[in-house]
Structure 1
């Protein structure tokens, strides 16, 4: 338990000498935002995911088989937008060597996309599902590509399958060394918190408010990343 709490604290408030500097808590903020956005897309945009492409591809298969309540078109639009966003994120990553600056730029772009989605949802009053799926899918594809480039262990911001597998498979009960237990649990809790907050808002008819919350989290991340990104920061170069 002590190791878990110590690791969690180091994730929330990394020491100055940490290889990833201030990136871990910023990636946790992105994880919370992901939970909010996926709650919006699944509960408010026709049972489609814009961040979790594993679920989205499975839903596409279900829809093609004729499962009720699912739309193959929605899933395809989400997948296309996600891939386009990932392409942009990949281009940014290949041109930006400083991980903090990369996070600030990409999250700034994602904030703009999410604000656009929030405004669209507020003004359209229904009937704008495709526009929202495209805006959010672009943002999440961008986020995934950048998180992959930044490569903070166990903080992918969107996918928990390997993180949860690691909690069990690397545990002392399984004969492992149980690396980063606190960070892994915080990652899962961050996604849970975001999903809970997003679902509570959407289920009370506040879809635009949920998107505004996600945009606020993204903006906070972008501003913080910009502030801490000193040119000579020891954690700035990509990991090898």
Structure 2
């Protein structure tokens, strides 16, 4: 228990000379954003994910099998937009010459703009679950989340991918000392799962009991806060900016 708490503390309050510097808490915030945006896309846009492409591949199969409630077109748009966002994010990351602070700042700034534009579009279309507005929202959010995923991949902080939890949860058990593993970094991994859970829970509550569009506003505001907090990352010369 003490090891898990110490691990969690180091993620939330990293030291100045810590290997990954201020990146872990920022990536946790982006994981919350993933939960919020996925809650909106799945619950308000009709059974489609904009951040987790495994789900969309499965949904495409469901649609082709004739299962009601799933749209082949929506899943294809999400996949294409996510891939385009990842391509743009990868290009931006390679252009940052390996400086992880610049990678993060550029990706989050662009993601903030795309998410707030998606919120504005959602206010204009009225009912985002149908029509062209639905596909516009899927496209904008897919682009934003693809860019986030590409940046997180380039930044490469272990167990903080911001969008995927399967390997994180596997690692809790498979790497534990109980099975002779090197140690599961359970504190860090549980924080990642909790961040996704809390974002999805908050988003689902807003969609169900309020105005679903405020989920996007909340995600956009959180991203804006992260962008402001990270404004000095691109100028940092500390070791964490290039550590892999």
Q: Does 1:237 align with 2:238?
A: no
Aligned partners of 1:192 and 1:175: how far apart in 2?
Answer: 29
Count of residue pairs the alignment pairs up: 239
Q: Deviations over 1:151-184 (max 9, x none)?
A: 0000000000000000011112222132421100
Q: Aligned-pair RMSD on alpha carbons?
A: 1.1
Residue 40 of structure 1: aligned partner: 40
Alignment of 1:197-212 (within 5 A): 197-212=202-217
Q: Deviations over 1:74-115 (max 9, x none)?
A: 000000000000000010011102111211111100000000
Aligned partners of 1:123 and 1:13: how far apart in 2?
Answer: 40
Q: Deviations over 1:189-222 (max 9, x none)?
A: 0000000001111112412110000111111122
Q: 4+ runs of 1 displaced by more than 6 Å?
A: none
Residue 18 of structure 1: aligned partner: 18
Aligned partners of 1:221 and 1:231: how far apart in 2?
Answer: 16
Aligned partners of 1:179 and 1:230: how far apart in 2?
Answer: 33
> SS state of the match for residue 236, structure 2?
coil
Extract unaligned runs of 5+ from structure 2.
Answer: none
Extract unaligned runs of 5+ from structure 1.
Answer: none
Could you state the TM-score of these two structures normalised by the residue count of structure 1? 0.97
> SS state of the match for residue 235, structure 1?
helix
Could you state the TM-score of these two structures normalised by the residue count of structure 2? 0.95
Alignment of 1:7-156 (within 5 A): 7-96=7-96, 97-126=98-127, 127=131, 128-156=133-161
Of 201-210 and 15-24, more deviation after overlay is shown by 201-210
Structure 1 residue 229: Cα displacement: 4.0
